[in-house]
A and B are shown apart, each in its own frame.
Chain A
Amino acid sequence: MEPLSTFEIITRILVQLSPVWISLVLLYALSIAFKRRLGLYGKLFDSPIGMIGFGLVMFWVFTGIYGALDMIVTHDALSQVSGMKNKVPGTALRSVEEGDYGWYLLGGDNLARDVFSRLIKGAWEVIKIAPLAAIFAFMVGITLGLPAGYYGGKLDVFLSFLANLILAFPVILLFYLLVTPEIVATGVPNYMAIVLFVFPIIFLAVLLNSRYHTRPALRTPLLIGVLGFATWMYLQLVSSGGYLINTPDFKIIGLPSVLDFFDIDPGLLVVFVSVVFVNSPTVFRIVRGLTMDIKTRDYVAAAQTRGEGPWYIMLWEILPNARGPLIVDFCLRIGYTIILLGTLGFFGLGLAPESPDWGSTINDGRKLLSIYLHPALPPALALLSLVLGLNLLADGLREESLKD
Chain B
Amino acid sequence: MGPFILRRTGMMIVTAICLTFIVFFLTNLYPNLEKLAKTQGNFRMSDEAVASWLDKNGYAQPTIVKYSQWLGVMPGWTRTSEKGVTGRCVLGTVSAAEAAQAPRFCGILQGDWGYSTVFRDDVSNIVGKRLGLTGALMFWVLLLMVPTALLIGVLAGMREGSVTDRSLSTVSILTTATPEYVSGVIFIAVFTSSTVGLKWFKGTATSATAKMPSDYSLAFVPEWAEAFWFRVAVAPTLENFFLPVLTIALYGMGYISRMTRASMTEVMTAQYIRTARLKGVSFYNVVVKHALRNALIAPFTVIMLQFPWLLNGVVIVETLFNYKGFGWALVQAASNNDIELLLAVSVVSVVVVLVTQLISDIGYVYLNPRIRIS
Contacts and interface: CB of A to CB of B under 8 A. Distances in A.
B292 interface: no
A397 B337 CA distance: 45
B170 to A, nearest CB: 9
B350 A387 contact: no
A106 interface: no
A165 B19 contact: yes
Contacts of B320: 366
B185 A388 contact: no
Contact of B330 (A173, A346, A371): A173
Contact of A165 (B15, B196, B331): B15
Contacts of A347: 319, 331
Given A173-B346, A384-B178, A371 B195 contact: yes
B27 A177 contact: yes
Given A170-B308, A376-B189, A380-B186, A182 B181 contact: no
B31 A182 contact: yes
23 contacts: A168-B354, A169-B350, A170-B308, A170-B315, A172-B331, A176-B330, A176-B331, A182-B31, A182-B35, A185-B31, A186-B29, A188-B29, A343-B181, A362-B185, A365-B185, A366-B188, A369-B188, A369-B193, A370-B194, A371-B194, A387-B178, A388-B177, A391-B176
B265 to A, nearest CB: 13
- Chain A at the B interface: mostly helix, strand, loop or mixed? helix
A183 B335 contact: no
A370 B193 contact: yes
A377 B195 CA distance: 13
How many residues of B sit at the interface, in one of the four size bands?
Answer: 35 or more
Contacts of B311: 170, 172
B353 A168 contact: yes
Given A168-B15, A173-B23, 20 more contacts: A169-B350, A173-B330, A176-B330, A180-B32, A180-B335, A183-B26, A188-B29, A347-B319, A347-B331, A365-B185, A366-B181, A366-B320, A369-B185, A370-B192, A373-B193, A376-B189, A384-B177, A384-B182, A388-B177, A390-B177
Contacts of A376: 185, 189
B325 interface: no
Given A165-B19, A388-B174, A182 B337 contact: yes
Contacts of B188: 366, 369-370
Interface of B: 15, 18-19, 23, 26-27, 29-32, 34-35, 173-174, 176-179, 181-182, 185-186, 188-189, 192-196, 203, 308, 311-312, 315-316, 319-320, 327, 330-331, 334-335, 337, 342, 345-346, 349-350, 353-354
Contacts of B308: 168, 170
A177 B177 contact: no
Interface string A123-162: 0000000000000000000000000000000000000010
Contact of B177 (A182, A365, A387): A387
Contacts of B31: 181-183, 185-186
B185 A380 contact: yes
A392 interface: yes
A372 interface: yes
Contacts of B327: 172
Interface in A295-337: 335
B322 to A, nearest CB: 11
Contacts of B315: 170, 172
B179 A387 contact: yes
Contacts of B195: 370-373
Interface string A354-366: 0000010011011
A200 interface: no
A383 interface: yes
B315 to A, nearest CB: 5
B173 A164 contact: no
A170 B15 contact: no
Contact of B26 (A167, A188, A362): A188
Nearest to B204: A370
A176 B335 CA distance: 7
Nearest to A171: B312
A392 to B, nearest CB: 7
A48 B19 CA distance: 46
Given A177-B334, A342-B181, A371-B193, A168 B26 contact: no
B181 A362 contact: yes
Nearest to B181: A346
Contacts of B335: 176, 180
Nearest to B33: A182
A193 interface: no
Contact of A370 (B15, B203, B350): B203
B29 A169 contact: no
A386 B342 CA distance: 34
A152 to B, nearest CB: 15
Contacts of A381: 182, 186
A109 B213 CA distance: 42
Contacts of A342: 179, 181-182
Nearest to A383: B182
A176 B19 CA distance: 15
Contacts of B346: 169-170, 173
Given A182-B31, A183-B29, A370-B188, A172 B173 contact: no
A160 B226 CA distance: 44
A260 interface: no
